[in-house]
Amino acid sequence: MAADIRYNWELDVPVAPGETIREILEDRGITQTDFAVRLGKSEKFVSQLVNGKASLTHETAIELERVLGVPSSFWNAAEAQYRDILARREQDEELAGQAEWAGSFPLREMAARGWIAQEAGPGDVLSFFGVSSVEAYDEYWSSPRRLAARMSTAYTASTPAIAAWLRAGEVAAEAVPTDPYNEAAFRRVLNDLRATSRLPVEQWQAALREACAGVGVAVVFIPDLPKTRCHAVSWWATRSRAVVVLGLRYKAGDQVWFSFYHEAGHLLLDDRRHAELCAPDADRAAETRADQFAADMLIPPDDYAALRAAGRPTKATVQAFAESIGIAPGIVVGRLQRDGVIPYKQMNDLKVTLRWAPEPEVYTPEETAEFMLNNAVTAAEYDDALAEIRALGIDPDTLVCQPRPES
């Protein structure tokens, strides 16, 4: 009986629901003329419906359920999927002509970073940018973008590569929870962060992100793309949330720190909540102002003047000076090199060379708990870890870990 049939519609080819109607009519020996009378429709409409030329509405689906005993939900799903497949095929045909546009992006490098699939086509690139069409992409990325970019003039920039790098920064920043922006607190954070520059990179990177998120600034680190010229950028996502994206210019720690404070300067000093992404020389005054802000925040002007007045610095004096003002010696070296006080080839051993690490492994809560217990050195640390683990709802008896230390 028709009532006992379980209908499903799961196809990847455009088969109109009318084909199913035709099959049912043939199986039951019902002519289209009789079917039109029973359905209360004209023969012309029935012919168009059977041949996929007429859309199957929700009302018609209910009527088909009454006449044929096939649930309206089946007809609605069949019609929706049929139209979806047709629309996708039509768009795929249109996008086939956009292969050259998609090829203007550094697809291989984007895939290597996991931003897109290995064999990405135009549709995949549109999905990455979160736009529906090439026209929408052009309009969105040519409109004012509320961005302030720190760019290198060493070589010609590729606009598609810049757009891809910025989009990756947008996506990463969206995943960073932040408190509402607080300018006074941000200024305090900038002063406090100087000291973290002396820590190992994995420590200062985490400290920088956490501290800035607490005052309304999402900081993310995005691997550079070839020919972007863009290694740092900032913008206002909303009036209460800012974003700073950092790359690894020259893979040097001092450059990353300078770029971070440069972008902080834009957020604090410029009217950038509606500014456009500019070429390097489009607003030299703003760039110079941000450069000076970064230089003075990292090395107080009076301290720097005293260092310069003491004569040509040696490696020992640079190290002592950096320790006295609480920053990494490589930052002092970078400043002296930029100002022409020492050659660019001198004292580079005081700089920290950075590289992009592999994606961190993802651990289960139980694995993290075991790590905490196994790395506890004292009984007090072990007890603190146990308390935290129990607070997470994890039973310590189910874990594989060392015995509690005796001291």
Assess whether pLDDT exceeds 70 at residue 278: no
Summarised one tens digit per residue, pLDDT across range 140-185 is 876 655 455 555 544 445 688 888 999 999 999 999 999 999 999 9
- What are φ and ψ of residue 7, in 5° steps? -95, 140
Q: Which residues lie below 8 Å from residue 184, measured CB to CB, with a gap of 6+?
A: none
- How far is CA 387 from each of CA 129, 259, 363, 370, rounded to the nearest angstrom? 44, 41, 20, 13
Summarised one tens digit per residue, pLDDT across range 331-348 is 999 999 999 999 988 998
pTM: 0.72
Structure confidence at residue 25 (pLDDT): 95
Confidence grade of residue 398 (pLDDT, cut at 50, 70, 90): confident
- How far is CA 58 from each of CA 34, 64, 87, 193, 223, rounded to the nearest angstrom? 22, 10, 19, 61, 50
Helices (DSSP H) in 96-221: which residue ranges?
A: 99-103, 107-112, 122-129, 134-142, 159-174, 183-193, 201-213
Summarised one tens digit per residue, pLDDT across range 9-19 is 455 566 899 99
Q: Which whole number is the average pLDDT over 263-278? A: 71
Structure confidence at residue 39 (pLDDT): 95
What whole-number distance in Å separates Cα of residue 348 and Cα of residue 340? Answer: 14
What whole-number distance in Å separates Cα of residue 116 and Cα of residue 124? Answer: 7
Confidence grade of residue 46 (pLDDT, cut at 50, 70, 90): very high
Assess whether pLDDT exceeds 50 at residue 4: no
Confidence grade of residue 369 (pLDDT, cut at 50, 70, 90): confident
Q: Which carries the bigger pLDDT value, residue 154 or residue 189?
A: 189
Q: Which two tokens stand for residue 190?
A: 């900038």
Provide the CA 338 distance to its chain's centre, in angstroms: 32
Residue located via tokens 């059977």 = 50
Q: Which whole number is the average pLDDT over 269-273? A: 71
399 neighbors 366 (Cβ within 8 angstroms): yes
88 neighbors 14 (Cβ within 8 angstroms): no
Q: Work out the percent of the chain whose per-residue pLDDT is above 90.
A: 55
Confidence grade of residue 375 (pLDDT, cut at 50, 70, 90): low
What whole-number distance in Å separates Cα of residue 134 and Cα of residue 120? Answer: 15
Structure confidence at residue 185 (pLDDT): 98
What whole-number distance in Å separates Cα of residue 231 and Cα of residue 242? Answer: 17
Comparing 225-234, 290-299, 375-384, which segment has the lowest mean pLDDT? 375-384
List of domains in the chain: 2-96 (1.10.260.40), 144-350 (no CATH), 365-398 (no CATH)
Q: Which carries the bigger pLDDT value, residue 278 or residue 212?
A: 212
Q: Which residues lie below 8 Å from residue 41, measured CB to CB, with a gap of 6+?
A: 49
